[in-house]
């Protein structure tokens, strides 16, 4: 079973049993804050395919991390690809990372109306137990490993991330 990777901040996925929300949030409901994590562009949400054995997960995380403008923890969810294909329209499109192989794994979940975006949020909520966090230091070591393996084109990494790896700037 293959998966889709989506970076999604864990801090917005509250539940009704948390003190701030116990008075008004019903079980199974989502706080509207989660929609910040599902920002679409022209009705599309960007995800990356991950192999069933997750052998390419570190590479996907590294490539994604290099598109950001700062090196931080990465929270993400893995959802079975089959669920996405069954419930949403998708299109394979070339990603825009510094890793050409990861770019081929890019997928747009498209034609997202507000109601479909809410459905997608519920899919992510259903897989909240599959939410993961990679600490900043581990993100940095994964990026370094991918640079050493020539998976990442250093010149295409965000400049603020490049500065964290001065030993590679001349290569």
Question: Is the confidence at residue 137, as pLDDT, over 80?
Answer: yes
Question: Is the confidence at residue 131, as pLDDT, over 70?
Answer: yes
Res 154: pLDDT = 94
How many whole angstroms separate alpha carbon 43 and alpha carbon 110? 6
For 3-58, write each residue's pLDDT tens digit.
999 998 766 666 655 666 667 777 777 777 778 888 999 999 999 999 999 999 99
3-state secondary structure of 90: strand
State the average pLDDT over residues 83-109.
97
Band of pLDDT at residue 139, cut at 50, 70 and 90? very high
Res 147: pLDDT = 96
Assign residue 150 a region (left: φ > 0; alpha: ψ between -120 and 50; beta: otherwise).
left
Q: What whole-number percentage of the chain has pLDDT above 90?
A: 70
3-state secondary structure of 76: strand
Res 29: pLDDT = 76
Is residue 4 within 8 A of residue 60, CB to CB? The reply is no
Res 56: pLDDT = 97
Neighbours of 66 (CB within 10 A): 25
Size (the chain), residues: 171
Rounded to 5°, the CA angle 31-36-39 comes to: 130
State the average pLDDT over residues 115-122.
92
Res 86: pLDDT = 96
For 98-109, write each residue's pLDDT tens digit.
999 999 999 999
How many whole angstroms separate alpha carbon 75 and alpha carbon 55? 18
What is the pTM (predicted TM-score) of this model? 0.89
Pick the range with the lowest mean pLDDT from 118-122, 126-130, 144-148: 126-130
């Amino acid at each position: 079973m293959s998966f889709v990777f989506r970076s999604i901040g864990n801090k917005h996925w509250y539940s009704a049993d948390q003190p701030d929300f116990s008075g008004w949030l019903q079980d199974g409901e989502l706080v509207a804050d989660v929609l910040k994590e599902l920002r679409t562009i022209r009705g599309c949400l960007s995800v990356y395919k991950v192999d069933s054995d997750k052998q390419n997960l570190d590479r996907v995380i590294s490539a994604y991390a290099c598109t950001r403008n700062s090196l931080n923890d990465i929270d993400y969810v893995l959802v079975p690809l089959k669920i996405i294909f069954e419930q949403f329209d998708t299109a394979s499109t070339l990603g825009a990372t510094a890793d050409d192989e990861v770019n081929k794994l890019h997928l747009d979940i498209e034609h997202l109306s507000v109601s479909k975006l809410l459905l997608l949020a519920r899919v992510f909520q259903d897989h909240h137990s599959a939410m993961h966090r990679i600490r900043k230091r581990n993100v940095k070591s994964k990026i370094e490993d991918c640079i050493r393996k020539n998976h990442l084109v250093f010149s295409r990494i965000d400049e603020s991330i490049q500065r964290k790896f001065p030993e590679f700037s001349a290569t």
